[in-house]
Amino acid sequence: MANKKFCLGLFTGSVDKLTAAGVVLSGAAAMDMDVDIYVLLQGARAFKKEIGDDASKLNMSENAEMKAEFMESLKKLKVKTWLEFFREAKEITNVKIHMCGLAGKVWGGNVLEDFVDIVDDIVGIGSYINSAAEADVSLFI
């Protein structure tokens, strides 16, 4: 029996939602799902090499004043960073991370080497739409 397919449209570039996406991704990996992540617009900025795991360069989605409290709580609870969640999931199951070409260009990323090493390729938006249509589970964060 084939693995179930999970598609994640990752629009966000905020540290809280990236962390949430990492937790969801870990669950999908634990369930041995095949995962396709499509990094869109604001998400692309977080995947730039010079940003990556540097939470100080990322915003909070709702309340900027809560960022310090959120980050301190993650540290206290020894929660992985969002990028560590993504790296670990790629080690566990079939996870492919696709950068939207337009999204990358918006943030100055024109080639694969402009992004953190877990990005597999640069694709057009049609790839995301096809993957979402074919997936057993599809989320947009």
pLDDT for position 79: 95
Mean pLDDT computed over 54-69? 86
C-alpha dihedral (109, 113, 118, 120), degrees to nearest 10:
80
pTM, rounded to two decimals: 0.94
When divided into structural domains, the chain yields a total of 1
Domain range spanning residue 98? 5-140
* DSSP tag of 47: T
CATH number at residue 100: 3.40.1260.10
* Bridge partner residues of 122 (DSSP): 99
Q: What is the pLDDT of residues 74-132, one digit of tens each?
A: 999 999 999 999 999 999 999 999 999 999 999 999 999 999 999 999 999 999 999 99
- What is the C-alpha to C-alpha distance for residues 128 and 57, in angstroms, rounded to an integer? 27
Tokens of 87: 């790296």
SS3 of residue 91 by DSSP: helix
Give 136's contacts (C-beta < 8 A, 6+ positions apart): 4, 5, 6, 33
In the predicted model, is pLDDT for residue 1 greater than 70?
no
31-57 residue pLDDT tens: 999 999 999 999 999 999 999 888 889
| Predicted confidence band of residue 2 (pLDDT cuts 50, 70, 90) | confident
Tokens of 40: 């869109």
